Homo-oligomer: A and B are copies of this chain.
């Protein structure tokens, strides 16, 4: 089995290196191949998603992705900026289902800005549609405003859209995921304002007929943002569109106070996937050896479970991570008094050791 390793920018290479160490000691015969992506892709090949990188990602059984983005690429035109790599990979590989768990490890309850009783034991799964919505909808651009009080001026515009089949397939992912959890799905929309999301609500309701053992609730996105702050533990699985999912999954991750711990998976229709930490490239701490590699290591675990059919190996890694937390080892982002501060490498080594 072939795994594409795309370290990217900022802390990407450091954290990916630790996950690679872990993959290498599992005793499996994975073929790992690396390529440049993001700013690193642009620097080496003139494009954030070089053709060779895309070809590797397509040929591989799974992709392990670090992070992209660095201030030094801020002045590039949009089509060449690092984040186009991740948008391009999602679209080219058909990665329509983004799974983002927001879990608060008991040892890290103090890291949250929320009161412990509100978040301790938090375990929600946000499922974000990732290849549709206003992210890719056309037409889009800047044009002359065609009507209304501002007619004749310039205006920026984009198209939000969801086709029936797009909504159906992500709804199935959500209901099936809920069956492995607490069997409750909250579908987040803005059906009271948007045609796209009234349609979304209708289709999700229809797909739900096949999952009568799962509870379905519809919630407006503004209310969902409030409920995430007020009582996040009430959620089990949240399913929503690309744009709302972008906002809510980051808010949910931040509730835990330990975004350095949170992995993510982006899957296609055949469970091939791209796996990346939920945090970004953090260029300010890049190269200092202080970044938390655990989200990337846990992303590798998700990869083993969802794309490579190695659930026991995934369990091994997840247990090893729990063990190092129990041992009191902490990178600076999750450090608290009374624990032991370690760097990126040390944390990676500790996980290797805990794997036994």
Contacts and interface: CB of A to CB of B under 8 A. Distances in A.
Interface of A: 78, 81, 83, 87, 113-115, 118, 134-135, 137-138, 140-142, 145, 147-150, 153-166, 190, 192-200, 221-223, 225-226, 228-231, 243-244, 246-248, 250-251, 253-255, 257, 259
Contacts of A140: 194-196
Central interface residue in A114, A161, A166, A253, by most chain B CB within 10 Å: A161
A150 to B, nearest CB: 3
Nearest to A280: B223
A193 to B, nearest CB: 6
Given A156-B199, A161-B157, A162-B155, A135 B225 contact: no
A115 B257 CA distance: 12
Nearest to A87: B193
A227 to B, nearest CB: 8
A154 B159 contact: no
A159 B157 contact: yes
A248 B229 contact: no
Contacts of A231: 113
Contacts of A166: 150
A150 B134 contact: no
A145 B203 CA distance: 15
B160 A158 contact: yes
A154 B158 contact: no
A165 B145 CA distance: 11
A81 to B, nearest CB: 7
Given A142-B195, A155-B199, A162-B156, A250 B223 contact: yes
Contacts of A118: 113
Nearest to A152: B163
Contacts of A161: 145, 155-158
A351 to B, nearest CB: 26
A222 B280 CA distance: 12
Contacts of A141: 195
B197 A222 contact: no
A85 to B, nearest CB: 12
A220 to B, nearest CB: 9
A48 to B, nearest CB: 12
B221 A78 contact: no
Contacts of A163: 145, 148, 150, 153-155
A249 to B, nearest CB: 8
A83 B195 CA distance: 15
